[in-house]
Amino acid sequence: MTTLTLKNCRPLAGPATDLHITDGLFTETAAPGAEVVDCGGRILIPGLIEAHTHLDKSLLGLPWYRNEVGPRLIDKITNEREVKVSLGLDPQVQSERHAILAMSHGCTHIRSHVDVDTHHGLAGIEGVMATREKLAGMIDIEIVAFPQSGQMTRPGTAELMDEALAMGAELVGGIDPCGMERDPKGHLDTIFGLAAKHGKPIDIHLHERDALGWFSMEEIIARTEALGMQGMVSISHAFCLGAVDRAQVEVLHRKLAENRIHILTTAPASAPVPVVKELKAHGILTGAGCDGIRDTWGPWGNSDMLEKAAHIGMRNNLRRDDEVELALEICTRGGAAILGIEGYGLEIGCAADCVLVEGETLAEAVAIHAPRKLALKGGRVIARDGACVIEAP
């Protein structure tokens, strides 16, 4: 049923109308015999975009994992690498569970970082690729080859990254060039080299704060400019843009905008975060993600990008309706633009990837993030009343 009519819906909280879907696209008129779905006057938004997560490592569906991990970043990375073995984590099964949870909330596209390391090789990439194939037509998954455990510190990783990209990973990932890799030049030259070799974009994790993060960001910007990679680089987390010294941050904002570098925020409550209103003012494309959910790093997260919009709102102290709408824009059009999704939106000719949400206004839809009435991918129902139409393994 990718041919149907959504009767009495309110696109982006506008006036109630009927929208027609033919062969998965929004069309001017109804196809003969199209099924009619009564939307009860609910708001329709385009599909939610999960633009930063880790599909290969959630513990969804497993017995509760009692977290007794140490406080440092490296404690969490080391523990995870080992626990994946002791728990016998299957990246295919875990990514399928995770993607189905995202679909239940009306997510239609995911960008997932997937671990590549000398311990697990390409098992994560293979597992997520299998899930991507299995769920084709119900959710789109983009894969970032991600050297979570470091590539400078673990020889052989760069070669595996190269292989992952040849296999079909769409983006080159990276991680804290100073804080984690201790060799910013080596790390950044390697990942930009891989990007150039494969003609693929970059999405790099940058948790480094304040001046350390500014330094790494300057180095990322310099390479983006030198290699003419404007529009092809995203920086995830970018905690250093949440620094107290706004004058320093302002300089970086200008350089990021000039080089069309995108920012992906996970809006954690416990770390400094990019200020989304400032990014918007600079015209810097901004998307968002739930980051890892229910994994060995911590118990939080449920893959709901409408709740994430609320978290972005609360974290950025957004209160006015226009501000809350910005949070929603980040979780929809912002992420879609960064992922380069063609035909995204509710206009005629766009793919019918959309979600019926509860609430009188867009701000209310975000604030309450109630279970979604209906979610469609290419006109096909993927979720109803908060539940995905397919069962998790």
Site for its own copies in 333-392 (CB under 8 A): 359-361, 363-364, 366-368
By the rule CB under 8 A, 72 interacts with its own copies:
no
By the rule CB under 8 A, 179 interacts with its own copies:
no
Q: How far is the CB of 321 from its own copies (least distance, A)?
A: 5
Among 21, 103, 129, 310, binds its own copies (CB under 8 A): 310
String of contacts with its own copies for each residue 313-332, x by CB under 8 A: xxxxx-xxxx-x--------
- C-beta closer to its own copies: residue 35 or 300: 300
CA-CA distance, 280 to 286, in Å (whole number)? 8
Question: Of 180-188, 200-208, 297-305, 384-392, which part binds its own copies (CB under 8 A)?
Answer: 297-305
- C-beta closer to its own copies: residue 65 or 215: 65
Among 228, 283, 299, 349, binds its own copies (CB under 8 A): 299
- 304: its two tokens: 């709901």
Among 33, 63, 155, 199, binds its own copies (CB under 8 A): 63
Q: CB neighbours of 231 closer than 8 A, spacing ≥ 6?
A: 260
Residue owning tokens 């060799």:
183
Question: By CB under 8 A, how many residues form the interface with its own copies?
Answer: 37
For 86, left (φ over 0), alpha (ψ -120 to 50), or beta?
alpha
Q: How far is the CB of 315 from its own copies (least distance, A)?
A: 4
How would you classify the pairing of strands 35-38 and 4-11? Answer: parallel
The helix (run of H) or strand (run of E) holding residue 162 is: helix 157-167
Q: How far is the CB of 31 from its own copies (least distance, A)?
A: 35
Are 201 and 233 in contact, with CB atoms under 8 Å apart? yes
The count of C-alpha atoms lying within 13 angstroms of the C-alpha of 16, restricted to the half-sphere facing its C-beta, is: 9
Q: How far is the CB of 142 from its own copies (least distance, A)?
A: 26
Nearest to 5 by CA among 46, 27, 35, 26: 35
Among 28, 68, 342, 385, binds its own copies (CB under 8 A): 68
- 77: its two tokens: 């990375």
What is the DSSP code string of 116-133?
Answer: -BTTTBTHHHHHHHHHHH
CA-CA distance, 251 to 261, in Å (whole number)? 14
CA-CA distance, 266 to 270, in Å (whole number)? 11
DSSP 3-state assignment of 351? strand
The residues pairing with 298 across neighbouring beta strands, listed in sequence order, are 295
Residue owning tokens 């929809």:
332
Q: How far is the CB of 59 from its own copies (least distance, A)?
A: 11
Question: Of 60-68, 164-172, 221-229, 256-264, which part binds its own copies (CB under 8 A)?
Answer: 60-68
Q: How far is the CB of 116 from its own copies (least distance, A)?
A: 24
Are 306 and 357 in contact, with CB atoms under 8 Å apart? yes
Kindly report the backbone phi and psi dihedral angles of residue 202, in degrees, each rounded to the nearest multiple of 5, phi listed first: -120, 145
Kindly report the backbone phi and psi dihedral angles of residue 357, in degrees, each rounded to the nearest multiple of 5, phi listed first: -120, 160
By the rule CB under 8 A, 15 interacts with its own copies:
no
Q: How far is the CB of 61 from its own copies (least distance, A)?
A: 12
By the rule CB under 8 A, 14 interacts with its own copies:
no
By the rule CB under 8 A, 105 interacts with its own copies:
no
Site for its own copies in 261-290 (CB under 8 A): 267-271
- C-beta closer to its own copies: residue 31 or 73: 73
Binding site for its own copies (CB under 8 A): 63-64, 66-69, 267-271, 294, 297-300, 302, 310-311, 313-317, 319-322, 324, 359-361, 363-364, 366-368
